[in-house]
Amino acid sequence: MKYVRLGSSPLEVSNICLGSMTWGVQNNQADANAQLDYAQYQGVNFIDTAEMYAIPPSQDTYGKTETIIGNWLAANPSRRQEIVLATKVAGPGFSYIRGGSKISGETLIQAVNDSLKRLQTDYIDLYQLHWPNRTSPHFGNQWPGNIEYTQVNAAEQTEQMLDILQGLATCVQAGKIRYCGLSDETPWGINQYLRLSEQHNLPRMVSIQNEFSLLHSKDWPYLIESCIHQDIAYLPWSPLATGLLTGKYLNGARPKGSRWTFMQRHGLFRDTELVHQAVAEYVALAKRHKISPAKLALGWCAQVNGVTSTIIGATTMAQLEENIDAFIAPLSEELLAETKSILKKYPMPF
Q: Which amino acid is at 97?
A: I
Q: Whole-angstrom Cα distance, residue 46 to residue 309?
A: 9
Helical segments of the chain, H only? 29-41, 64-75, 105-119, 138-142, 154-173, 187-200, 222-230, 259-262, 264-270, 273-288, 293-303, 317-325, 333-345
Q: Whole-angstrom Cα distance, residue 322 to residue 16?
A: 13
From its phi and psi, is residue 207 left (phi > 0), alpha (psi between -120 and 50) or beta? Answer: beta
96 is catalytic: no
Pair 304, 339: CB distance under 8 Å = no
Query: Which one is catalytic: 53, 62, 249, 282?
Result: 53
CA distances to 123, 135, 319 from 218, in Å: 34, 18, 26
Q: Whole-angstrom Cα distance, residue 269 to residue 349?
A: 10
Radius of gyration over every alpha carbon of the chain, rounded to an integer in angstroms: 19
Catalytic residues: 53
